[in-house]
Structure 1
Amino acid sequence: MTIDTLPYPADLTDGVVSLRAHRRGDAEALAEAVRESVDTVGRWQDWCHAGYAIADAETWMESARKSWLLADGFEMLIVDAASDRVLGGMGVNQRNKEQRFANLEQRFANLGYWVRQSKQGRGVATRAGRLAIGFAFAAVKVARLEIVVAEHNLPSRRTAERLGASFEGMLRKRLVVKDESLDAAMYSVVRGDPGVSAS
Structure 2
Amino acid sequence: MPAAVLPTLRDGDVTLRPIRARDAKPLERALLDNRTWLRRWEATYPGGGGVIDAKASIRNLTAHARAGHGLPFVIEVDGELIGQLNVSGIAYGSLSSASIGYWVTRAAAGRGVTPTSVALATDYCFRTLRLHRMEVCIRPENQPSLRVVEKLGFRYEGLRRRFIHIDGDWRDHFAFALVAEEVPGGVLDRWRSGRVPEDAARIPAEDRAAAAYPLRIADR
Which residue does the alignment assign to 1:183? 172
Aligned length: 184
Give the structure-2-normalised TM-score. Answer: 0.76
Q: What are the Cα deviations for residues 2-35 of structure 1, in whole angstroms up to 9, with x where unaligned?
A: x32122213x100210100112321111111111
Residue among 14, 18, 31 paired with 1:21 = 18
1:45 is aligned to: 42
Q: Which has the higher strand share?
A: 1
CA distance 1:30–1:196, shift in 2 (3 Å): farther
Q: How far does residue 180 in structure 1 lie from its aligned partner after superposition? A: 2.5
Counterparts in 2 of 1:92-111, with a 5 A limit? 92-97=87-92, 100=93, 105-111=94-100
Q: Distance in 2 between matches of 1:137 and 1:127?
A: 15
SS in 2 for 1:192: helix
SS of the residue corresponding to residue 155 of structure 1 reads: helix
| Cα RMSD (Å) | 2.2
Task: Check if 1:72 corresponds to 2:41.
Answer: no
Which amino acid is the alignment partner of residue 125 of structure 1?
T
- Alignment gaps of 5+ in structure 2: 188-220
Q: Say if 2:154 is the partner of 1:165.
A: yes
Paired-residue identity, %: 25
Is the Cα–Cα contact under 8 Å of residues 19 and 77 in structure 1 kept in the other structure? yes
Alignment correspondent of 1:62: 59
| Greater fraction of residues in helix | 2
Matched to 1:108, the amino acid is: S
Q: What CA distance in whole angstroms lies between the structure 2 residues aligned with 1:50 and 1:161?
A: 31
* Cα distance, 1:50 vs structure 2: 8.6
**Hey, what does 2:7 align to over in structure 1?**
9
Deviation at 1:136, TM superposition (A): 1.1
1:91 aligns with 2:86: yes
| Unmatched tracts of structure 1, length 5 or more | none
| Residue equivalent to 2:118 | 129
Q: Which 4+ residue blocks in structure 1 deviate beyond 4 angstroms?
A: none
TM-score, normalised via structure 1 length: 0.84
Structure with max Cα Rg = 2
The structural deviation recorded for 1:150 is: 1.0
Q: C-alpha separation between the residues in 1 aligned to 2:130 and 2:2? A: 11
Question: Shift in Å at residue 196 of structure 1?
Answer: 5.3
Query: Displacement, 1:195?
Result: 6.7
> In the alignment, residue 83 of structure 2 is paired with which amino acid?
G
2:206 is matched with none
Letter in 1 for 2:85: M
Aligned to 1:153: 142
Measure, in 1, the Cα distance between the counterparts of 2:179 and 2:141. Answer: 24
Counterpart AA for 2:60? S
How far apart are residue 51 of structure 1 and its match?
Answer: 5.2
Report how far residue 59 of structure 1 moved: 1.2
Distance apart, 1:122 and its partner CA: 1.2
Contact 2:43–2:164 under 8 Å retained in 1: no
